Amino acid sequence: MKNLKKWMCAAVLLLAAGAVQAQREATPLDTLALTPPMGWNSWNQFEWEVSDSLIREIADAMVATGMRDAGYRYIIIDDYWVGGRDTRNRLYPDPVRFPNGMKAVADYVHAKGMKLGIYSDAAELTCAGVTGSLGFEELDAKTFAKWGIDYLKYDYCHAPSDRTTAFTRYKKMGDALRASGRPIVFAICEWGGRSPWLWGKAAGGHLWRTTYDSRDTWYSGDANLVGILDIFDSQEGLERYAGPGGWNDPDLLMVGLYGKGKSSSPDKRFAGCTDEEYKSHFALWCMLAAPLIVNNDVRSMSEFTRQLLTNPHLIAIDQDSLGRQGYTFMRSDHLQYLRKELSNGVAICIFNRSDEPQSFTLDPVRDADILYPAEVVSAWSGKRAKKGVVRGVLPPHGCEVLIYRRK
């Protein structure tokens, strides 16, 4: 009898342990980033100028400008925030620029209804040369969780170039975040060189950069530096790897920088884009189901930039719950036609790649197999558009975006 009791006790304990394990496996981490993350990042506009006061001002501006309510929820502090490690190896922020510590910043951002992101690197040093996380993954993940961090961008400067090491280092941090007890979005940033779309999810990533750093220019023309069109072209074929919980990340939005960013505008050749180009940049990134992370100074952005970044029709395309990345289905001399499947229809983008205005025609039945009765809305105006054959003229580098909603 005594033995039976003991045995039953052990069985109950085993069952309970199993339940805890199962719960751990179904952590809220798996339901993070079911749509592409949206937010603000400090990098191109501010670089080393990140500080407690800047982040608070940005959080206030995100609310005041309607950016938060349009869906931009993550405020991400990029490189240069680290002060060092204390005697117990715990990371601490630069004491001059973050005099109240990082938890105070997180509390402020949370109180504004937003989330806080931070940055580190899978090596001893970050790209900017401050302390990275290699060898301290568990401790750093716990520290981030304790501060109330919701998103980690994890860079790959000063790390070996092979894919196996990259996977191992990213998985180490992915596992550490998972074990930290806090749901933290994990943004892999190794610039696409090791095809992270093949292993990013297995390493615990919710998004993975597919490209080197974007410059604030339409087209780079420089073999070593990428502009918006270069990046857009390099995304072709990656659509099969994106979906709820794991996204291709073609880098930050250049919209609104107008050449004022630091590393995004290293010289005069990268002095920004025209408004038409920023419009296409935003629309194309939405068609690609890209994470929408702005990095302009939202405290002083123009009404044009604000309206573009908060366009509800384009954001709805990006954030559609089906989670499909758009792809090119038709080309003509200067035009490229993309489609993105939506939970209730399809979005079509007609994009003029050339430096001249171009006229276009779209027959939704013949060209895009839209056979069902649909309501058609132009993403720019939000107004109903023609159901049948559509014709128009696109400005240089401009695009039209039509949403066909099933009835």
Catalytic site positions: 155, 213
Least separation in angstroms between residue 155's CB and ligand GLA is 5
Is 249 a binding residue for ligand GLA by CB under 6 A? The answer is no
Least separation in angstroms between residue 189's CB and ligand GLA is 5
Cα distance between residue 286 and residue 2, in whole Å: 66
Kindly tell me which of 78 and 137 has the beta carbon lying closer to ligand GLA.
Answer: 78
Kindly tell me which of 141 and 159 has the beta carbon lying closer to ligand GLA.
Answer: 159
DSSP assignment of 224-292: TBB-HHHHHHHTTTGGGG-BTTBEEE---B-TT-TT--STT-SSGGG----HHHHHHHHHHHHHTT--E
Question: Which is it for the CA torsion 291, 294, 295, 298, positive or negative?
Answer: negative
Q: Which two tokens stand for residue 21?
A: 């394990």
Element (H, E) at 151: strand 151-155
Q: Which residue is nearest to ligand GLA (CB)?
A: 127
> Which 179-238 positions form the footprint of ligand GLA (CB under 6 A)?
189, 191, 213
Question: How many residues belong to the site for ligand GLA (CB under 6 A)?
Answer: 9
Kindly tell me which of 43 and 98 has the beta carbon lying closer to ligand GLA.
Answer: 43
User: Which burial class, exposed, middle or buried, applies to 164 when counting CB atoms under 10 A from its CB (0-12, 13-18, 19+)?
Assistant: exposed
Least separation in angstroms between residue 327's CB and ligand GLA is 25
Is 155 a binding residue for ligand GLA by CB under 6 A? The answer is yes
Phi, psi for residue 231 in degrees, rounded to 5: -65, -45
Cβ neighbour number for residue 303 with a 10 Å cutoff: 8
Is 374 a binding residue for ligand GLA by CB under 6 A? The answer is no
Residues 6+ apart with CB under 8 A from 352: 334, 335, 358, 360, 394, 395, 396, 397, 398, 399
Q: Which amino acid is at 161?
A: S
Kindly tell me which of 126 and 311 has the beta carbon lying closer to ligand GLA.
Answer: 126
Least separation in angstroms between residue 191's CB and ligand GLA is 6
Least separation in angstroms between residue 91's CB and ligand GLA is 16
Sheet holding 74-76, edge to edge: 247-249, 207-209, 185-189, 151-155, 115-121, 74-76, 38-41, 292-294
Kindly tell me which of 153 and 340 has the beta carbon lying closer to ligand GLA.
Answer: 153
Least separation in angstroms between residue 263's CB and ligand GLA is 7
In this structure, are residues 120 and 126 in contact, taking their beta carbons and an 8 Å threshold?
A: yes
> Which 250-289 positions form the footprint of ligand GLA (CB under 6 A)?
none
Cα distance between residue 160 and residue 269, in whole Å: 31
Kindly tell me which of 156 and 380 has the beta carbon lying closer to ligand GLA.
Answer: 156
> Which 88-147 positions form the footprint of ligand GLA (CB under 6 A)?
127-128
Cα distance between residue 72 and residue 115, in whole Å: 9
> Which 15-74 positions form the footprint of ligand GLA (CB under 6 A)?
43
Kindly tell me which of 122 and 314 has the beta carbon lying closer to ligand GLA.
Answer: 122
Nearest to 392 by CA among 378, 375, 406, 373: 378
Least separation in angstroms between residue 231's CB and ligand GLA is 12
DSSP assignment of 344-356: TEEEEEEEE-SSS
Kindly tell me which of 123 and 314 has the beta carbon lying closer to ligand GLA.
Answer: 123
User: Residues 52, 78, 150, 320: which binds ligand GLA (CB under 6 A)?
Assistant: 78
Nearest to 234 by CA among 277, 288, 276: 288
Least separation in angstroms between residue 290's CB and ligand GLA is 14
Cβ neighbour number for residue 330 with a 10 Å cutoff: 14
> What residues make contact with ligand GLA under the rule CB under 6 A?
43, 78-79, 127-128, 155, 189, 191, 213
